[in-house]
C-alpha cells in the first residue's frame, strides 16, 4: 500500500493478551517462515543462556533479555533490506542475532572478550554491527531516538532509498528526546527527507512502571499524531502480523521518505534486568497469563496448522538452538580478553 493508514486504536490496550486477534492466513514463503521460527528459538535459548552465564559471573554489568518479545524484532528485521540500517536500546541481543551477527561474537561481547561484536568495549547494552547496518544498542533511555532521525536524514541526503528503523521501549516515549526527535522527523518527512520507521516495543513496563502509570495517554500510537506521523498499533506477539505490518510500513517509508510508527504490543517474560529477581510490580500469574501468548508458541502453532512443522521438526529446532548457543558460549569462554592496549584505543580517530 502506498500510504500507511492513520492510527486507529486497535484494542483496549491493557496488555498483549487483549490485542487484536489475527485471522488465519496463508504462509507465503514456508522455508523463510521456518527459518524465522528457528531464529526465534535460537534467540530464546540464547537469552536463557545469558541469564545462566550472568549467574555464573561470566557476564557483568546490566543484562536485559528479550524473551517474550522475539516476534517484534524478528518481524521487522525480516523485512529489512541488507543495506537498511537500525538503532535500538539496550535490550538488543536478539536484534543482533536476527540481523545475522554471529552468536559467538554476540556472546563474546557479553563476556567482555576481544572477539565480541564491539571488541569487548560495549557489553550487553552496546552491541554494534555496522557492516550489517546495526548502528547500536544504547543505554540512556530515549537517547538513541534523535540519532536515528539524523541517520535517516543522512540516508536520503546521500541518495538512494535506504531506510532506518528505530526500536524503542514504551518507557522511552516519555523522554524529551523522543518528542524533539519525532517533531523533527515529521518536519523533515514533509520534504521526503526522513525515511524512518519507529517501532515502539510496548512490553507493558518500563522497569517496574506499567504504561498506565507513566503515560497519561496509554494508546501510545496516538502520540505520534502530534507530529504528523501515521501510526498503528499491532499485535506484537504474532510474527506474521508483525511482518505484514513491517512490510507495509517499510514500503511506505521507502517510497515516501516520510516517517511511520508502529506500536507493537508485547510482553517481557523475564525481569527487567538480571537484578530484577522478585518483580514485585507484577504477579506470577500475570506472567503466566502472558506466556499463554508466547510468540514462539504462536508461530509454532501456525506452522503446525499449515503442516510445515511437526514434533520432530520442533525438537530438531530446539537441538539446533542448543548446539548454536553451546558453540557461542564455548567461543566466548575460549576467546581472549581485550589486550591492555585496547584501553586507550577508539577514544579518538587519527590525530587532528
Partner 1 sequence: MPELSYRDAIRATLIEEMDRDPAVVLLGEDIGAYQGTFRITADLLGRYGPTRVIDTPISELGFVGAAIGMAMLGLRPVVEMMTWNFSLLAFDQIVNNAAKLRYFSGGQVEVPLVIRGPNGAGVQLSAQHSQSLEAIYAHVPGLYVVAPATPAEARGLLRTAIRGRDPVIFLEHAALYASKGEVPDGDSALPFGRAEVVRGGDHVTVVAYSRMVGVALEAAERLAADGIEAEVINLRTLRPLDVATVLASVRRTHRAVVVQEQWRLFGAAAEIAATIAEGAFDLLDAPVERVTGEDVPMPYARNLELLALPDADDVVRAARRTLYREPAPAGGRADG
Confirm or reject binding of residue 172 to ligand TPP (CB under 6 A): yes
Rule CB under 6 A: is residue 212 a binding residue for ligand TPP? no
C-alpha cell recorded at residue 101: 551477527
Q: Pick between residue 148 and residue 265 the one whose CB is nearest to partner 1.
A: 148
Of 114 and 251, CB closest to partner 1: 114
Using a 10 angstrom Cβ sphere, with 0-12 exposed, 13-18 middle and 19 or more buried, the burial of residue 279 is: middle
Residue 146 interface partner, choices partner 1, ligand TPP, none, CB cut-off 5-8 Å depending on type: partner 1
With contact defined as beta carbons under 8 Å apart, do 126 and 118 qualify? yes
- Residue 187's binding partner out of partner 1, ligand TPP, none, with CB under 5 to 8 Å set by partner kind: partner 1
Contact 219, 9 (CB under 8 A): yes
* Window contacting partner 1 (CB under 8 A); options: 122-130, 210-218, 247-255, 287-295: 122-130
Q: How far is CA 321 from its chain centroid?
A: 19
CB 340 within 8 A of CB 120: no
Partner interacting with residue 345 (select from ligand TPP, partner 1, none; CB below 5-8 Å by kind): partner 1
Range 23-42, binding partner 1 (CB under 8 A): none
Sign of CA dihedral 174, 175, 180, 182: negative
| 145: contact with partner 1 by CB under 8 A | yes
C-alpha 316/C-alpha 82 separation (Å) is 28
Own/partner contacts of 241-244, CB < 8 Å, gap of 24 or more, are: 241/20, 241/22, 241/75, 242/71, 242/72, 242/74, 242/75, 242/76, 243/74, 243/75, 243/76, 243/78, 243/79
- CB closest to ligand TPP, residue no: 169
Is 186 or 273 the residue whose CB approaches ligand TPP more closely? Answer: 273
**116 touches which of partner 1, ligand TPP, none (CB within 5 to 8 A by kind)?**
partner 1
Residues 73-92 close enough to bind partner 1 by CB under 8 A: 85, 87
User: What is d(CA 165, CA 98) in angstroms, rounded to the nearest whole number?
Assistant: 14
Position among 35, 140, 316, 323 found at the interface with partner 1 (CB under 8 A)? 140
Q: How far is the CB of 350 from ligand TPP (least distance, A)?
A: 32
**For ligand TPP, the closer CB: 95 or 156:** 95
Q: Which residues are paired to 206 by β-bridges? A: 209
Residues that bind ligand TPP (CB under 6 A): 91, 139-141, 169-172, 203, 205-207, 272
Amino acid at each position: 500500500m502506498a500510504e500507511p493508514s492513520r492510527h486507529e486504536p486497535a484494542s483496549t490496550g491493557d496488555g498483549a493478551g487483549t490485542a487484536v486477534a489475527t485471522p488465519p492466513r496463508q504462509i507465503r514463503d514456508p522455508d523463510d517462515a521456518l527459518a524465522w521460527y528457528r531464529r526465534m528459538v535460537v534467540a530464546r535459548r540464547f537469552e536463557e543462556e545469558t541469564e545462566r552465564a550472568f549467574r555464573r559471573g561470566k557476564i557483568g554489568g546490566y543484562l536485559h533479555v528479550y524473551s517474550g518479545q522475539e516476534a517484534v524484532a524478528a518481524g521487522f528485521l525480516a523485512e529489512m533490506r541488507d543495506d537498511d540500517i537500525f538503532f535500538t536500546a539496550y535490550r538488543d541481543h536478539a536484534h543482533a542475532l536476527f540481523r545475522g551477527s554471529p552468536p559467538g561474537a554476540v556472546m563474546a561481547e557479553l563476556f567482555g572478550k576481544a572477539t565480541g561484536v564491539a571488541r569487548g568495549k560495549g557489553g550487553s547494552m552496546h552491541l554494534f554491527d555496522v557492516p550489517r547496518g546495526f548502528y547500536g544498542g544504547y543505554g540512556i533511555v530515549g537517547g538513541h531516538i534523535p540519532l536515528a532521525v539524523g541517520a535517516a536524514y543522512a540516508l536520503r541526503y546521500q541518495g538512494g532509498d535506504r531506510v532506518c528503523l528505530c526500536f524503542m521501549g514504551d518507557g522511552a516515549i516519555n523522554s524529551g528526546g523522543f518528542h524533539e526527535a519525532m517533531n523533527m522527523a515529521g518536519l523533515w518527512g514533509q520534504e521526503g527527507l526522513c525515511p524512518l520507521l519507529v517501532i515502539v516495543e510496548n512490553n507493558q513496563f518500563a522497569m517496574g512502571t506499567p504504561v498506565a502509570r507513566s503515560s497519561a495517554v496509554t494508546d501510545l500510537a496516538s502520540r505520534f499524531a502530534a507530529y504528523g506521523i501515521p501510526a498503528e498499533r499491532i499485535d506484537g506477539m504474532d510474527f506474521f502480523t508483525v511482518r505484514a505490518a513491517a512490510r507495509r510500513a517499510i514500503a511506505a517509508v521507502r517510497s515516501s521518505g516520510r516517517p511511520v510508527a508502529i506500536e507493537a504490543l508485547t510482553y517481557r517474560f523475564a525481569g527487567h534486568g538480571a537484578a530484577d529477581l522478585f518483580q514485585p510490580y507484577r504477579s506470577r500469574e500475570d506472567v503466566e497469563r502472558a506466556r499463554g501468548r508466547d510468540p514462539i508458541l504462536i508461530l509454532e502453532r501456525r506452522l503446525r496448522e499449515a503442516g510445515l512443522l511437526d514434533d520432530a521438526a520442533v525438537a530438531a529446532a530446539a537441538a539446533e538452538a542448543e548446539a548454536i548457543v553451546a558453540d557461542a558460549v564455548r567461543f566466548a569462554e575460549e576467546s581472549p580478553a581485550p589486550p591492555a592496549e585496547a584501553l586507550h584505543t577508539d577514544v579518538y580517530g587519527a590525530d587532528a
